[in-house]
């Protein structure tokens, strides 16, 4: 009787409890990986949704969960506004509020959809499917921002990741949310055992498939002959990175790291996003320095600004450029998925008083989209600049499958926080989904090599300066099931789950 009264009192806390559940769920995300938080948070949310009759109240409950999850899970964005010289410290409270409201709407949608279904397992099933659909929607709505997909809680557990090769991150998120919500139905020993058994079966299937897939995978030391990559992480503080007085010093830091011990066997040197203020394809001084950074025959793949004249206008690109050891330009890739307010101002004509948060006042132009880039003495590569890596199903040229992916980034904006860990986790997810190794170079963040199964071969920690010398792992022999069919697979799964939740069952449910 006392327990029932307590639960009833909890349910009356219509705002605080779902908000706290959302905050609790953050504990399962990188870099914490405390999985019990996932089960406690979603079981708590489903428990609340199962005791709500009003669709409006269901949506509000979901909104508050999402507000807690996204405002706290993305609070590290505030660090970008606190960098000295930015002049925007007064706006520090805005990111948590903005992300909380934005993210809350997606969870509100999932909870609202679930409220149309019968209470119990069917409502949980519908909620899990709607959650997966909401993650997919936020990958493209308003240019998209699919950050902190629930599937990322498994990136520290390689076996649990492998089903993403079949149904992608969205599919793994759906199953994870369903399993995490099963303890909402526990009210005695019998239902506890039933929930434990159900969770055990789901986890066992995920782990079993992952173990089987990894047992057939080559060792992480099985690399492509003749390719030895050096990932450079200079760890330049963001407040100094764009200081004009330190431009040459920062460039030379990249050069010295590129030429440090072991450089004689390196075939490819990789510098992070916007590694230097100099335009590497146009500035003769910078190109001379690049030449001194490379041993004979080596190739530099560097994040760099690039300009291009088109008619009477000048376009600015956030690019990856390739140069050889004598400074010859070999090719480039231009970022196509730009960051709103960081690289361009949306609706600038309507709101001319809004400015970008980055030091460069000029808006960046978009590239031609995802493509496999062919560079001399380099295996065909798919290039991704910064957060382009976070979009499931949108990182590989389907016409020409690359041998590897390259992601350059600058996570220095976000300091020592959860953000860089979450960003690195998304790169792991893309490797599993596409069956491709991924090399990642960060100004600071986490630089490293990830194999085609999401396993970290070698890495350099957040806040460290140095290099990672590593071979290039092999891609899977064939594209993964997800790589072939993309997001049609998880969306079909969600549709099937919604239909199954609508079918009446004769057997007693949880």
Catalytic center residues: 273, 335, 386
What DSSP assignment string belongs to 126-177? HHHHHHHHHHHHTTTGGG----S-GGGGGTT-HHHHTTHHHHHHHHHHHHHH
Map residue 332 onto helix, strand or coil: strand
The pair of structure tokens assigned to 11 is 């349910």
Which helix (H) or strand (E) element contains residue 238? helix 238-241
**Look-up: residue for tokens 């920062």?**
250
What DSSP assignment string belongs to 455-469? -EEEEE-TT--EEEE
β-sheet bridge partners, residue 383: 406
The pair of structure tokens assigned to 168 is 């992608």
User: Rounded CA gap, 29 and 134, in Å?
Assistant: 18
Cα separation values, 258 from 227, 269, 291, Å: 16, 7, 11
404 C-beta neighbours (distance < 10 Å), count:
25
Task: List all residues 6 or more positions away from 445 whose beta carbon is below 8 Å from its beta carbon.
Answer: 233, 409, 410, 411, 412, 420, 423, 424, 462
> Is the distance from CB of 233 to CB of 447 less than 8 angstroms?
yes
CA angle in degrees (0–180, nearest 5) for 10-16-19: 115
> Is the distance from CB of 425 to CB of 31 less than 8 angstroms?
no
User: Rounded CA gap, 11 and 394, in Å?
Assistant: 41
**Look-up: residue for tokens 């050889």?**
324
The pair of structure tokens assigned to 500 is 């199954």
Signed CA dihedral, 205, 390, 130, 433: sign only: negative
């Amino acid at each position: 009787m006392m327990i029932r009264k307590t639960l009833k009192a909890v349910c009356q806390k219509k705002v605080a409890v779902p908000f706290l559940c959302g905050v609790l769920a953050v504990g399962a995300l990188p870099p914490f990986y405390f999985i019990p938080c996932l089960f406690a948070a979603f079981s708590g949310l489903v428990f609340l949704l199962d005791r709500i009759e009003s669709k409006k109240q269901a949506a509000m409950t979901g909104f508050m969960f999402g507000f807690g999850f996204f405002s706290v899970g993305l609070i590290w964005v505030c660090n970008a506004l606190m960098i000295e010289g930015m002049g925007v410290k007064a706006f520090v409270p805005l990111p948590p509020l903005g992300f909380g409201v934005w993210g809350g709407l997606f969870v509100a949608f999932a909870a609202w959809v679930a409220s149309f279904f019968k209470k119990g397992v069917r409502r949980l099933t519908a909620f899990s499917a709607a959650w997966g659909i909401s993650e997919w929607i936020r990958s493209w709505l308003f240019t998209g921002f699919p950050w902190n997909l629930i599937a990322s809680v498994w990136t520290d557990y390689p076996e649990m990741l492998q089903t993403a090769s079949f149904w992608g991150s969205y599919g793994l998120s759906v199953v994870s949310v369903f399993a995490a919500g099963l303890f909402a139905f526990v009210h005695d020993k019998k239902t506890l055992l039933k929930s434990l058994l159900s969770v055990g079966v789901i986890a066992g299937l995920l782990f079993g498939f992952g173990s089987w897939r990894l047992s057939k995978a080559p060792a992480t030391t099985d690399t492509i002959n003749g390719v030895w990559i050096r990932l450079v992480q200079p760890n330049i503080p963001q407040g100094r990175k764009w200081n004009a007085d330190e431009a040459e010093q920062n460039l030379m830091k990249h050069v010295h790291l590129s030429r440090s011990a072991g450089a004689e066997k390196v075939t490819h040197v990789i510098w992070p996003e916007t590694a230097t203020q100099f335009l590497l394809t146009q500035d003769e001084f910078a190109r001379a320095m690049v030449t001194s950074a490379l041993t004979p025959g080596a190739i530099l793949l560097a994040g760099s600004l690039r300009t291009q004249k088109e008619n009477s206008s000048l376009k600015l690109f956030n690019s990856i450029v390739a140069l050889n050891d004598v400074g010859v330009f070999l090719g480039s890739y231009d970022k196509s998925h730009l960051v709103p307010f960081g690289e361009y101002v949306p609706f600038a004509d309507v709101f001319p008083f809004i400015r970008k948060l980055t030091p460069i006042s000029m808006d960046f132009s978009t590239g031609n989209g995802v493509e496999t880039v062919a560079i001399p003495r380099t295996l065909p590569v798919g290039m991704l600049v910064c957060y382009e890596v976070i979009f499931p199903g949108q990182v590989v040229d389907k016409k020409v499958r690359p041998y590897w992916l390259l992601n350059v980034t600058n996570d220095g904006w976000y300091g020592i926080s959860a953000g860089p860990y979450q960003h690195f986790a998304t790169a792991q997810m893309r490797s599993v989904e596409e069956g491709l190794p991924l090399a990642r170079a960060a100004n600071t963040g986490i630089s490293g090599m990830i194999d085609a199964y999401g396993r970290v071969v070698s890495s350099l920690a957040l806040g460290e300066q140095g290099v990672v010398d590593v071979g290039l792992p092999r891609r899977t022999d064939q594209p993964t099931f997800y790589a072939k069919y993309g997001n049609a697979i998880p969306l079909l799964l969600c549709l099937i789950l919604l239909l199954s939740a609508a079918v009446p069952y004769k057997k007693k449910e949880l």
